[in-house]
Amino acid sequence: MSFSTQVMNPQPSLTMPSSNIEVVIPDDGRQETRYFAFISIAVVVVAGMLLWLNHSGAQTKLSELPNQLSNSATQISNAIAELNMLDEAGLLTYPLSAELLPLPVIPGASLHEFSQTCYVIEQAGYLFAIEKETAWQAHWAKSDLIADCHANLNWHELNH
């Protein structure tokens, strides 16, 4: 805060005849108090936003797949990794069939073979498509009907 000073007319005094009374009045014409408050609030808001951005950026996203199906997705993901390793090592014998592949046996799920390179596992209204394009991969989608790997459904990565 800054203040301006002004010397007022000297008043007669018995005790200190030569003294002046100085009245200091606040000069709030420049609105320092308000600016200070604005800046303080702005700093707090910006810091809060940065913290929020930092926190939300680092968060790992949960899968949209229901929790009770995540183990099925994990087992299928493991099978995909194994299929790719076996395929790379030339250990998959063609023509392929579901019995020859290391696909998981999931209680309450049914396996559908559409072709040598397209298998679908259905569980509780969700489809897991296992297919080979350049490499083996798998996706999931919500569907009440059994459909093949290329059906027009909203497919998701297994971990999304």
Partner 1 sequence: MKYLVALCLILASHSALAHLQVGITLHPYYSYVANIVGDRADVLPLIDSGFNPHNYQLSPADIERLNSLDALVVNGIGHDLFATNTVERLQPKHLTVIWANQDVPLIGHDEKVNAHSFVSIDAAIRQVYTIAKALGELDAENKTYFLRNAMDYARTLRALKTPVQQALLNQDLSNIRIASTHGAYAYLLQEFGLTVSAIIEPAHGVSPTASQLEDTIQTIRQQNIDVLFTELNMENHYVDLIEQETGIKIYYFSHMTHGEYSADQVEREMSHNLRKLAEALQP
**Interaction site with partner 1 (CB under 8 A):** 58-60, 62-63, 65, 67-68, 70-71, 73-75, 77-78, 81-82, 85, 89, 107, 158-159
Nearer to partner 1, 109 or 113 (CB): 109
Instruction: Give the separation between CA 17 and CA 101, rounded to whole angstroms.
Output: 111
Nearer to partner 1, 23 or 62 (CB): 62
Closest approach of Cβ 144 to partner 1, in Å? Answer: 21
Closest approach of Cβ 138 to partner 1, in Å? Answer: 11
- Provide φ and ψ at 148, rounded to 5°: -85, 180
Closest approach of Cβ 128 to partner 1, in Å? Answer: 11
Nearer to partner 1, 21 or 124 (CB): 124
Categorise residue 132: left if φ over 0, alpha if ψ from -120 to 50, beta otherwise: beta
Closest approach of Cβ 39 to partner 1, in Å? Answer: 28
Rounded alpha-carbon distances, angstroms, from residue 120 to 59, 95, 143, 156: 32, 18, 12, 14
Contact indicator for 123, 112 with CB cutoff of 8 Å = no
What single letter denotes the amino acid at residue 31?
Q
* 42: CB partners within 8 A, 6+ apart: none
Nearer to partner 1, 65 or 120 (CB): 65
Closest approach of Cβ 155 to partner 1, in Å? Answer: 14
As beta bridge partners, residue 132 has 136
Q: Where are the alpha helices (DSSP H) in the chain?
A: 32-58, 70-88
Nearer to partner 1, 13 or 78 (CB): 78
